[in-house]
Amino acid sequence: MSDTVIKVENISKFYQLGLINHGTLAKDLQGWWAKIRGKEDPNSRVSLLSSAKNNSDNDFIYALKDVSFDVKQGEVLGIIGANGAGKSTLLKILSRVTSPTSGCIKIKGRIGSLLEVGTGFHPELTGRENIYLNGAILGMRKHEIDKKLDEIIDFSGVEKFIDTPVKRYSSGMYVRLAFAVAAHLDPEILVVDEVLAVGDADFQKKCLGKMDDVSKKEGRTVLFVSHNMAAVRQLCTRGILLRNGELVFNGDVNDCINGYAQTSITNLISHAFITPDMHASGFSNEITIEEATLLNDPAEMSTDEPIEIELVLKNHFSKATQCRYSVNIFDETDMRIIGYVSEEIPIPQNKETFKVRCQLENHSLTKRRYKMSLNVGYKDFGTNVKNFDVVKGGVLTFEIKYLNKKSKSEYVCWNRNWGAVIHQGCNINVEVL
Amino acid sequence: MSEKENWTTIITPKNSFFRLNLKELWQYRDLITSFVKRDITSTYKQTILGPLWFFIQPIFTTIMFLIVFGNIAKIPTDGVPQVLFYMNGIILWNYFSKCLVSTSNTFVANSAIFKKVYFSRLTIPLSNVISALVQFVIQLALFIIILIAYKIHEADFKLSFAVFAVPLFVLQMAVLGLGIGLIITSLTTKYRDLTHLIGFAVQLWMYATPIVYPLSMVPEKWRSLYVLNPVVPILESFKHAFFSTGMPSLTEYGISIAMTIFLLFAGIFVFNFVEKNFVDTV
């Protein structure tokens, strides 16, 4: 392809865990002397070479492992992944802050980043002086800044204070000025990393707008790293998904996001003994949930099928005679989809442990993976929450696969944008006339 | 395969061992100017005396030396007026130590910005050397004014032709400070001990150079060893330029130049080697 602007070829980067060296020159020299004599370094715990090759060794961690992809002119590429997946490392390598351990990246054009807004601002200098300084750090020539100076000042909205040292600026003015410089950098390739995490709603909008302009109107390439899936979906044309330093998906941005979201529920759990760390703290624990079982097949569930759960509870000599049970269902992003709350029902007396079965009807959940949290309590009026025990989300997980249990008709294609719940009463009857 | 030539940047694991990348440095020339401006304007902002501090420091050091070494210790100055003798050494030594210390702090002092954006790393030490030069030139002007004042009153010393070579001496000082500084800063990415060492090492080093005493006081049998200190011939020549106290021999100066060049290249070599990955270790 002639219009490829970034070509990443088999990039790997590993970091050594723990101390970088022995800390003092003396020990390093000792190690070096031992190496010369062909002996093992007395200060090293593992032989360095063997562990570098072998990922299982604990002293090295791969931040990136054999990552390859291309980016074409004018493309907006979203880079997503959980924390520690290697996104930042990838950007660091792309922006040449650090270098890869192996592999090679070829780039056409200047890379500018919106990732470090305000880098190199000197507090004693005035706004105007800092524009020049910051612009130069970001790789602009003086005449380029001269040309854009008015535009930058205008965009920042701090023209009144432009000859005041930036140490007297409010933090908002500071960020606006810094962003104005970065936004007028005009690189061929723009790297944006989590800028949306800082600044107010207005500023975020401005960032997104600028990125949209840059890519759509000016046809420039943008690499966008964010945890904000809505923004990624809105802006990007293509996505790559990183997991533990490996590239696991490269393609359409929606598929990529789906792939990312799926990662948070990796396995389906239909039975669990509740360990102490699964109980939320701060509850009286008069009655505790000890064991939870999903009676359905967690991988083969359908929208019209009631969810059945069996709980084993333990009564720690509670004075209460009755209690209610509730189940909350969350999606992969921990968004609460449905809450079920039962009536208060009598607690079997004179029994230390007892069993209950809950049936959740008409959940109407669509094709997705879900997790549940469970709790038991009484008289839940308003904020006066009286729970005996709350078991945190993720204790049981399941996947809705079919629309109809009997026919096992699958959702052929259910876009996640269409929502998590389909109303059971809303049937669409289509007839060919 | 013709498009292969079109890549503007190729990122590989390691820099080639000795690649100065002057072209890239040239692209960042505006950045060097910006840094120099920043250094100079920000140093004395919000001070009452402002740029006067450029003068105060050498004047007071000279007065100190005058009292301690001139009047109490009574160390001779080879017939040169004491004030001029001390000030001559102080300003050039100050320039050298400033180049050396600021360059040796390059990585540690700028790690925050280096971790965030890429620009030619050599711009930082170079701009340090240049902004120190501005200070030096101002102090040199002060020295020359005092020199002229002395000349009017008592003319028992004369300028030599070497005065025309003063820019070269200064350049060599800068290069020497830069070279050693680059080596030290590269090592500080791993061994922080050096940041502590450098501060007082420079102070000690000053006493191994003919600033508070003339070279003639160094015993003859030690002289050949003494001039191995690469700073000595430069300081001596600088002194000779204004007072005709005698140039160091060609061999002595040759060794100093050779060491300067060697240290510069060694410095660039290790700096180049370290700069790519220092972010991971600093």
CA B110 to chain centre: 19
Q: Which residue has the higher pLDDT, A381 or B279?
A: B279
Kindly identify which residue of chain A lies nearest to residue B10, measuring between CA atoms: A106
The span from the first CA to the last CA of chain B, in angstroms, equals 40
Q: A106: which chain B residues are within 8 Å (Cβ-Cβ)?
A: 7, 9-11
Q: Residues 102..121 of B with a Cβ closer than 8 Å to A: which?
A: 113-119
CATH number assigned to the domain comprising residue A344: 2.70.50.60
User: What pLDDT score does A14 carry?
Assistant: 81
Within-domain flag for A395: yes
One-letter amino acid for residue A157 of the chain: G
* Interval A118-167: pLDDT, tens: 677 888 888 898 888 888 888 888 888 899 899 888 888 888 888 988 88
Nearest to A137 among B119, B276, B281 (CB): B119
Decide if pLDDT at A46 tops 60.
Answer: no
- The dihedral built from the CA positions of residue B183, B188, B194 and B198, taken in this order, carries a sign that is positive
Within-domain flag for B100: yes
The answer to whether A82 touches A74, Cβ cutoff 8 Å, is no
* Interval B32-59: pLDDT, tens: 999 998 888 888 777 788 778 888 889 9
Interface check for B9 against chain A (CB to CB < 8 A): the answer is: yes
Nearest to A105 among B3, B11, B114 (CB): B11
Within-domain flag for B54: yes
Angstroms from A61 CA to nearest CA on chain B: 13
Q: Could you give the number of structural domains in chain B?
A: 1
> Tokens 């990348």 sit at which residue?
B21
Average per-residue pLDDT for chain A = 79
User: What pLDDT score does B99 carry?
Assistant: 94
Q: Please answer yes or no on whether B31 and A137 come within 8 Å at the CB atom.
A: yes
* Residue B12, beta-bridge partner list: none
Within-domain flag for A314: yes
Least confident among A21-25, A386-390, B131-135: A21-25
Within-domain flag for B26: no
The span from the first CA to the last CA of chain A, in angstroms, equals 49
The answer to whether B160 touches B240, Cβ cutoff 8 Å, is yes
- Percentage of residues in chain A having pLDDT higher than 70: 82
Interface check for B31 against chain A (CB to CB < 8 A): the answer is: yes
Helix (H, G, I), strand (E, B) or coil at B18: coil
What are the helix and strand counts (H, E) for chain A?
Answer: 9, 20
Nearest to A25 among B13, B30, B193 (CB): B193
Q: A107: which chain B residues are within 8 Å (Cβ-Cβ)?
A: 7-11
Angstroms from B138 CA to nearest CA on chain A: 22
The answer to whether A302 touches A402, Cβ cutoff 8 Å, is yes
* Pairs of CB atoms within 8 A across A/B: 113
The answer to whether A99 touches B276, Cβ cutoff 8 Å, is yes
Interface check for A21 against chain B (CB to CB < 8 A): the answer is: yes
User: Phi and psi dihedrals of B49, rounded to 5?
Assistant: -80, -20
Best probe of the A interface among B6, B38, B121, by most A CBs < 10 A, is B38
Q: Please answer yes or no on whether A139 and B28 come within 8 Å at the CB atom.
A: yes
- The dihedral built from the CA positions of residue A144, A145, A149 and A155, taken in this order, carries a sign that is positive
The answer to whether B55 touches B139, Cβ cutoff 8 Å, is yes
Within-domain flag for A70: no
Interface check for A58 against chain B (CB to CB < 8 A): the answer is: no
State the Cα–Cα distance between residues A248 and A257, nearest whole angstrom: 12
Residues 6+ apart with CB under 8 A from B170: B92, B95, B133, B136
Per-residue DSSP letters for A241-253? EEETTEEEEEEEH
pLDDT-derived band of residue A21, with 50, 70 and 90 as boundaries? low
Decide if pLDDT at B9 tops 90.
Answer: no
State the Cα–Cα distance between residues B184 and B178, nearest whole angstrom: 10
pLDDT-derived band of residue B171, with 50, 70 and 90 as boundaries? very high
User: What pLDDT score does A407 carry?
Assistant: 77
Within-domain flag for B203: yes
Least confident among A33-47, A87-101, A114-128, A227-241: A33-47
Mean pLDDT within B249-262: 92
Helix (H, G, I), strand (E, B) or coil at B44: coil
Q: A103: which chain B residues are within 8 Å (Cβ-Cβ)?
A: 13
User: What pLDDT score does A47 carry?
Assistant: 40
Interface check for A125 against chain B (CB to CB < 8 A): the answer is: yes
Strands (E), chain B: 9-11
Within-domain flag for A276: yes
Nearest to A119 among B12, B35, B117 (CB): B117
Q: What is the dihedral of CA B239, B243, B248, B253, to 10 degrees?
A: 40
User: What pLDDT score does A323 carry?
Assistant: 87
Interface check for B2 against chain A (CB to CB < 8 A): the answer is: no
Interface check for B5 against chain A (CB to CB < 8 A): the answer is: no
Token pair, residue A27, equals: 């020990």
Decide if pLDDT at A55 tops 50.
Answer: no
Angstroms from A219 CA to nearest CA on chain B: 19
Mean pLDDT within B104-131: 88
The C-alpha angle with vertex B119 and arms to B116 and B120, in degrees rounded to 5, equals 140
Q: Cβ of A251: how many Cβ atoms within 10 Å?
A: 12
Average per-residue pLDDT for chain B = 86
Q: Cβ of A307: how many Cβ atoms within 10 Å?
A: 24
Q: Please answer yes or no on whether B277 and A116 come within 8 Å at the CB atom.
A: no
Angstroms from A75 CA to nearest CA on chain B: 18
Q: Please answer yes or no on whether A109 and B190 come within 8 Å at the CB atom.
A: no
Within-domain flag for A173: no
One-letter amino acid for residue A408 of the chain: K
Q: Which residue has the higher pLDDT, B266 or A421?
A: B266
State the Cα–Cα distance between residues A290 and A395, nearest whole angstrom: 11
Q: Please answer yes or no on whether B116 and A115 come within 8 Å at the CB atom.
A: yes
Interface check for B33 against chain A (CB to CB < 8 A): the answer is: yes
b/e A10-24 (16+ beta carbons within 10 angstroms → b): ebbbbbeeeeeebee
Q: Please answer yes or no on whether A104 and B9 come within 8 Å at the CB atom.
A: no
Q: B115: which chain A residues are within 8 Å (Cβ-Cβ)?
A: 97
> Between β-strands A189-193 and A111-113, what pairing exists: parallel, antiparallel or unpaired?
parallel
Least confident among A2-6, A125-129, B25-29: A2-6
Nearest to B117 among A25, A102, A113 (CB): A113
- The secondary structure of residue A385, as a DSSP letter, is -
Q: What is the dihedral of CA B158, B161, B166, B171, to 10 degrees?
A: -150
Kindly identify which residue of chain A lies nearest to residue B280, measuring between CA atoms: A98
Q: A129: which chain B residues are within 8 Å (Cβ-Cβ)?
A: 37-38, 41
Q: Please answer yes or no on whether B8 and A110 come within 8 Å at the CB atom.
A: yes
Interface check for A27 against chain B (CB to CB < 8 A): the answer is: no
User: What pLDDT score does B151 carry?
Assistant: 84
The answer to whether A397 touches A372, Cβ cutoff 8 Å, is yes
Containing domain of residue A379, as a range? 271-418
Within-domain flag for B12: no
Q: Please answer yes or no on whether B118 and A95 come within 8 Å at the CB atom.
A: yes
User: What pLDDT score does B123 carry?
Assistant: 92
Within-domain flag for A340: yes
Containing domain of residue B100, as a range? 49-281
pTM for the full predicted model: 0.72
Q: How many CA atoms lie within 13 A of B148 on its CB side?
A: 5
Within-domain flag for A330: yes
Q: Please answer yes or no on whether B13 and A15 come within 8 Å at the CB atom.
A: no
Helices B250-275 and B166-188: angle between axes, nearest 10 degrees: 40
Within-domain flag for B38: no
The answer to whether B182 touches B271, Cβ cutoff 8 Å, is yes
b/e B255-270 (16+ beta carbons within 10 angstroms → b): bbbebbeebbeebbbb
Interface check for A26 against chain B (CB to CB < 8 A): the answer is: no
Best probe of the B interface among A133, A164, A188, by most B CBs < 10 A, is A133
Q: Which residue has the higher pLDDT, A111 or A417?
A: A111
One-letter amino acid for residue B79 of the chain: G
Q: How many CA atoms lie within 13 A of B235 on its CB side?
A: 30
Q: Please answer yes or no on whether A106 and B281 come within 8 Å at the CB atom.
A: no
Interface check for A64 against chain B (CB to CB < 8 A): the answer is: no
b/e A32-70 (16+ beta carbons within 10 angstroms → b): eeeeeeeeebeeeeeeeeebeeeeeeeebebbbbebebb
User: What pLDDT score does B262 carry?
Assistant: 95
* Closest residue by Cα to residue A66 from A225, A259, A223, A242: A242
Angstroms from B13 CA to nearest CA on chain A: 5
The C-alpha angle with vertex A311 and arms to A305 and A313, in degrees rounded to 5, equals 160
Interface check for B203 against chain A (CB to CB < 8 A): the answer is: no
User: What pLDDT score does B102 carry?
Assistant: 93
Residues 6+ apart with CB under 8 A from A374: A289, A292, A309, A311, A325, A326, A327, A328, A390, A391, A395, A396
User: What pLDDT score does B3 carry?
Assistant: 47
Within-domain flag for B19: no
Within-domain flag for A44: no
User: What pLDDT score does A24 carry?
Assistant: 58
Nearest to A136 among B7, B10, B30 (CB): B30
Q: If you compute the radius of gyration of chain B from its CA atoms, what whole number of angstroms results?
A: 21
Kindly identify which residue of chain A lies nearest to residue B8, measuring between CA atoms: A108
Mean pLDDT within A356-377: 87
Q: Could you give the number of structural domains in chain A?
A: 1
